A and B are shown apart, each in its own frame.
Chain A
Amino acid sequence: MSIKTIERKVLQKNDEVASDNRLFFKKNGILALNLVSSPGSGKTSLLEKTLEKLKTRVRMAVVIGDVQTDLDARRLDSFGLPVIQLVTNGACHLEATLVQEALSDIQAEQTDLLFIENVGNLVCPAGFDLGEAMKVVIASTTEGDDKPLKYPAMFRNASVLVINKTDLIPYVNCDLAELRNNALRINPSLTIFETSCVNDDGLDNWCDWLVQQVEK
């Protein structure tokens, strides 16, 4: 019997490509955000509203990951921005290599803010670095207020929490204060926004913050 000690990170390859992506963003002055959430939290609606509000202020591009279809990319087509759809063909998360392949299509020198919309899933995307500056986790009120405790890795690894669908608060079993407390218990340094893509509440705060981050 012989033993080879190798001590190799399982995701080393992904991490290496993520580092390359990070370098690419830095070189081109791009703020890259990795948007993560469960399916149906309103990631694409939030993007639609954000692109609409910021289209004259910030040069943006979008990379969208889905298990199947280009429905999301088509929703965002009307803005005339680079929108790259990635289809993972069954995989439950984006990996750094897939994002790297998309980067040649985003017109990097004309982009200040890149949204990477991950596959809707609160587990797997937490483990895969894409090279982003920050993870933004979107939690909608219809999911209840206990999600941060059930999916702590995602909330711990994110820098920003957007609580979406606040217009539905009267109709759903979600205590906003409790949701905030649970999120801050997992990650006290989270920056939190509350938004509704129906009545536009909170969207200006979110968009102004994005502009500030781009200008930093």
Chain B
Amino acid sequence: MHELSVAKNIIRIAREHLTPEEEPFLKKICVRIGAFSTIIPEFLQSGFDAARDGTPLKNTELDITIVPLRIKCRNCNHETEIEPVDFVCPLCTSTDVEVVAGNEMIVTDLEISDN
């Protein structure tokens, strides 16, 4: 539900890093979204399509890379990818694990075409 406001933030951040001359040539915004970030990629995509309308980025595409949820075991230091409801170390079965990836929402790259 909050994907539209996230999309607006993405557009704001992109524009902060562009000159007004560059804006119409921004081809793609690349973002990294964690699987545990509460963002639904399809909703973010449609939110982005709505949010870019009426801005100089109206032809810009959003490229979403999903980062799987990764945990690190505080007991045996094993690091692994998990499904979001299994916060258990598969090696030693400890539940004392920390999330090391999968929460993030990051604007990584801006691809600008030459003309």
Contacts and interface: CB of A to CB of B under 8 A. Distances in A.
A153 interface: yes
A101 to B, nearest CB: 17
Q: Which of A10, A149, A153 has the most CB of B within 10 A?
A: A10
Interface string B90-115: 00000110010000111111111110
- How many B residues are at the interface, by size bracket? 20 to 34
A interface, over-half SS: mixed
B87 A156 contact: yes
B46 interface: no
Q: How large is the interface on A (under 10, 10 to 19, 20 to 34, 35 or more residues)?
A: 20 to 34
B113 A6 contact: no
A91 B5 contact: yes
Contacts of B87: 156, 185-188
A126 interface: yes
Contact of A152 (B84, B104, B108): B84
A127 B113 CA distance: 33
B85 A8 contact: no
Nearest to B13: A8
Given A11-B9, A13-B9, A186 B85 contact: yes
Contacts of B105: 9-11, 127
A112 B91 CA distance: 44
Contacts of B37: 127, 153
Contacts of B108: 5-7
A187 B98 CA distance: 10
Interface in A1-52: 1-13
Interface in A74-125: 91-93, 121, 123-124
B65 interface: no
Contacts of A185: 85, 87-88, 95
Interface of B: 1-2, 5-6, 9-10, 13, 17-18, 27, 31, 36-39, 84-85, 87-88, 95-96, 99, 104-114
Given A4-B18, A7-B108, 6 more contacts: A1-B27, A91-B5, A92-B1, A126-B38, A188-B87, A188-B96
Q: Nearest 6 pairs between A and B by C-beta?
A: A10-B105, A124-B2, A92-B1, A4-B110, A188-B95, A8-B107
